[in-house]
Amino acid sequence: MDVKQDLTNREIFSDPDAIKILQFMIRSARTPLTPETLPTDEIHYPDLKPLLAASSTEKAVELLGRMVEAKVLVADLVDKVPACPECGSFELSTRYLCPKCFSYDIARSYLYEHLKCGKVASDDTFKKGDQLVCPKCQTVLHNFGVEYRAVGAWYKCSNCTESFNVPSHSHFCRPRHHQFASDRTRFVPIYQYRLNPDTLSQVRRELLMYSDTVATLEALGVTAMAPHELPGKSGQPQPFDIVATVKGRWGAKTIAIDVLANDAGVPAEAVRAFAAKVKDAKASESYLIAVPNLTDDAKTLARNMKISCIEGASLKEATNALLGRGAFKDLAS
């Protein structure tokens, strides 16, 4: 890695918002950050909203771009959308115009052909009350596609009375009322973002709060993969922060571990989410590590759902407590 690239990486790994994004993506490594279009035509990334509550979409996209430059993320093009050349808004309408006077006050009618006599005229020319009557031979028409057919559309301008078969068009920016032709339209690339597999190991080293726990387990001869997915009974893989394989006199056991830190206490919602994964995953044992602790509601829920939780003022303290539980305790003995 060159000096410039190293400096860029250091900026990313010292940015609190970038760290939040990377930690989320490590926990959901199979799911990219995917854009969605709001009813206002604005583009946003819904997964970023709870992570970067105070940041605008523009700032979030700028940060994602810097993370791509740092080669920790990969950007995959998913669309190119038109935007206003004046203000950059995606909130555009298309206006169909008279090619002569450029008024948008135009009306469309269809051209009908009477198949028997060959008369072609606008649909309003064929209308007589509730019936369609050929203006040439006065035949009353009933069956579309058999007696008559539509052969095209015809437009007329209410401003200058010009008739034409193909309208011109322009774009109209709804927020700022800018009107512009297609040749002035900005085309903005829209990306989805995923972790760069070439730098994933570096990201894990820099950001995983539980890397010391993995090192402690590996020092005991335990195979530890972080993060890792286990197959679920539902057919959906379940992600865990650490999946350890412990071998002993009883054979091999697969142990699923999640590590959560919250200064105010890990909430009940986290226990419920962990329980759902554990129920579906095929693991011999499972542990939720909470630093520094669970909230009172979370403790009650964990007891009721029979979820094994380990608390510790620090991750090191919680890791030491983990080694005294289940298969790890047997291994130590």
Question: What is the spatial distance between Cα 33 and Cα 64, in angstroms, rounded to a whole number?
Answer: 10
Position 89, amino acid: S
Q: Show Cβ contacts of residue 291 under 8 Å, excluding neighbours closer than 6 positions.
A: 259, 260, 261, 262, 266, 311, 312, 313, 314, 315, 318
**Domain-embedded: residue 43:** yes
Please count the structural domains in the chain: 3
Is 287 found in the same domain as 262?
yes
Is 115 found in the same domain as 12?
no
Range of the domain at 254: 208-332
pTM: 0.56
**Domain-embedded: residue 127:** yes
**Domain-embedded: residue 171:** no
Is 225 found in the same domain as 76?
no
* Phi, psi for 142 (deg, rounded to 5): -125, -45
Is 116 found in the same domain as 57?
no
**Domain-embedded: residue 92:** no
Look up the CATH number of the domain holding residue 251.
3.40.1350.10
**Domain-embedded: residue 133:** yes
pLDDT tens track, the chain, 333 positions: 443 454 567 788 878 888 888 878 876 656 799 999 888 888 889 988 888 876 788 889 999 999 999 999 999 999 999 999 999 999 999 999 999 999 999 999 889 999 999 999 988 899 999 999 999 999 999 999 999 999 988 899 999 999 998 999 999 999 999 999 989 999 999 999 999 988 887 787 676 667 788 888 988 889 988 778 899 999 988 988 899 999 877 788 999 999 888 888 999 999 999 999 999 998 999 999 999 999 999 999 999 999 999 999 988 999 999 999 988 887 655
Question: What is the spatial distance between Cα 258 and Cα 76, in angstroms, rounded to a whole number?
Answer: 30
Element of type H or E holding 316:
helix 315-322
Is 191 found in the same domain as 45?
yes
**Domain-embedded: residue 24:** yes
Is 241 found in the same domain as 136?
no
